[in-house]
Amino acid sequence: MSHQQEQGPSPGARLRQLLATGETLLCPGVYDGLTARMALAAGFKCLYMTGAGVSMSRIGMADLGLATQTEMVDATGMIAGIDRNIPLIADADTGYGTAVNVARTVERYITAGVAGFHIEDQVVTKKCGHLGGKECVSLEEYLSRIKAAVEVRKKRASDVVIIARTDALAGQGLDEALHRLKSAAKVGADVVFLEAIKTQEQLETYSATFRGTGVVTLYNMVQGSTVGLKITAKEAAQHGVGIVLYPGVCLVPAYLGITSALQALKDGRVEERYEAVPPQEIFEVCGMNEIQGFDKEVNDWVQLFLKNNE
């Protein structure tokens, strides 16, 4: 059951409307139903499905390209379906193969209800963007991925937002990375995503390159990263960044909190620490009142129907 019935524009159109305001869009990284529900309850205008979070929560594996297309599509559809009125940007990794694989991925992501997704230029056996030792495909192969996504969008008459990500900065330098993003934008990407920016100068050059072009820039704010530059939402806005992703905003507190709770359980302190949060409070965040209301409405209707047709 959806959290809220979809009304009005499609998810892609909703995301485009948000981007058209010129305000920096802050997107919390969610990876399952509970984190998505909490982000919705907090009132965010757009969510981001983190591939690292899905990989760790769904298959218990680090973000090393082990989560499959099917697992990612399933997670995407579940999260996007909770509230169709709030757009979801999803990690689509490398597209999971060649151009034909990318096309199938995009078809399935659009059907799942995403508002936007990012495709990257790492090899299929990818790594998290904030790890070392990343390898990128050729520019030709990268652009074939973006072109495949653009063609599927056209075929489906969709307004899904295509985000071109590059990990080339770490191994090939800023000039090559920006060349890749400019080429991807020419092919049809709406948003560009330079991963693992290290310095203020790189951020300024990245922002200046696309300022006034109509192409939206994205920044990936990975909390705790030893690689990426830390910037605030205000600083992102000052640089004209259109989207800021926070992939670890739910994952890190969950890791810290659950680790602490498990230790408290071992020490015999779990009740005194967590009894202040009744299960009902969490159930309510996860749609309990809506579900029970729907159930009552159906049963009341059936009772009335039977009474009138005795």
How does pLDDT run across 27-74, given as a tens digit for each residue?
999 999 999 999 999 999 999 999 999 999 999 998 888 899 999 999
Least confident of 167-171, 215-219, 227-231, 273-277: 273-277
- Given the residues 83, 93, 159, 190, select the one marked as catalytic: 93
pLDDT of residue 269: 79
287: left (phi over 0), alpha (psi -120 to 50) or beta: left
Mean pLDDT of all residues in 200-216: 97
Is 48 annotated in the active site? yes
**pLDDT at 139 > cutoff 60:** yes
- Judged on CB neighbours under 10 Å (0-12, 13-18, 19+), 150 is middle
Residue 49's H or E segment, with its range, is strand 47-49
- 249 contact partners, CB below 8 Å, separation of at least 6: 28, 29, 223
List the domain boundaries for the chain: 11-248, 257-308
| Catalytic residue list contains 58 | no
The catalytic position among 3, 16, 31, 63 is 63
Strands 88-91 and 47-49 come out as: parallel
Nearest C-alpha neighbor of 192 from the set 228, 234, 162 = 162
Residues pairing with 218 in the sheet: 193, 243
Among 96, 108, 121, 128, the active-site one is: 128
Q: Is 120 a catalytic residue?
A: yes
CA dist., res. 198 & res. 141, Å (int): 26
Q: Is 118 in the active site?
A: yes
Is 295 among the residues known to form the active site? Answer: no
Orientation angle between helical segments 200-210 and 174-187, nearest 10 degrees: 30
Report residue 100's pLDDT band, with 50, 70 and 90 as the boundaries.
Answer: very high
Give the pTM. 0.92
Supply the mean pLDDT for the chain: 92
Whether pLDDT at 156 is above 90: yes
Q: How far is CA 113 from CA 7, 85, 191, 207, in A?
A: 13, 10, 18, 30
- Selected catalytic residue, list 120, 121, 167, 190: 120
Instruction: Supply the pLDDT for residue 131.
Output: 63
User: What percent of the chain is modeled with pLDDT above 70?
Assistant: 93
The secondary structure of 279-290 as a DSSP string is: HHHHHHHTTHHH
Count of alpha carbons within 13 angstroms of residue 55, beta-carbon side: 19
Residues 277-288 have a mean pLDDT of 86
CATH for 11-248 is 3.20.20.60
Q: How confident is the model over 171-189, as a mean pLDDT?
A: 97
